[in-house]
Amino acid sequence: MSEFIMEHKTLLMYLVPVFLVGYFMPTILSFALKREQKAKIFTANLISGISWFAWFGVLFWAIRGQTKSSSKISDN
């Protein structure tokens, strides 16, 4: 195993960050889109990576969730 890592160090330097960005895409989107439930989305994202079905559910939640400004009702 360590021989593989030593021989493919450059490849791993690029693949690991790409994998992590892909894995945490719902969390990244929830922060970028200023979603109200960022912490819950992060927790669900951390756990749901085992199941692609759950991961896509969290991704959908991150994209379609409420923003902080849209969740408050104005008194006009």
Dump pLDDT digits (tens) for 17-75. Answer: 999 999 999 999 999 999 999 999 999 999 887 788 898 999 999 999 877 765 455 54
**Please, what is the angle between helix 25-32 and helix 38-48, to 10°?**
170
What pLDDT, on a 0 to 100 scale, did the predictor assign at position 68? 73
Interatomic CA distance for residues 54 and 32, integer angstroms: 21
What pLDDT, on a 0 to 100 scale, did the predictor assign at position 17? 94
**Does residue 13 belong to any structural domain of this protein?**
no
**Does residue 12 belong to any structural domain of this protein?**
no
**Does residue 41 belong to any structural domain of this protein?**
yes
SS3 call for 3: helix
pTM (two decimals): 0.72
Judge contact between 45 and 29, C-beta under 8 A.
Answer: no
**Does residue 33 belong to any structural domain of this protein?**
yes
| Number of domains within the chain | 1
Q: Which residue range(s) make up the domain with 44?
A: 20-64
**What are the C-alpha distances in Å from 66 to residues 15, 27, 40, 61?**
32, 14, 13, 9
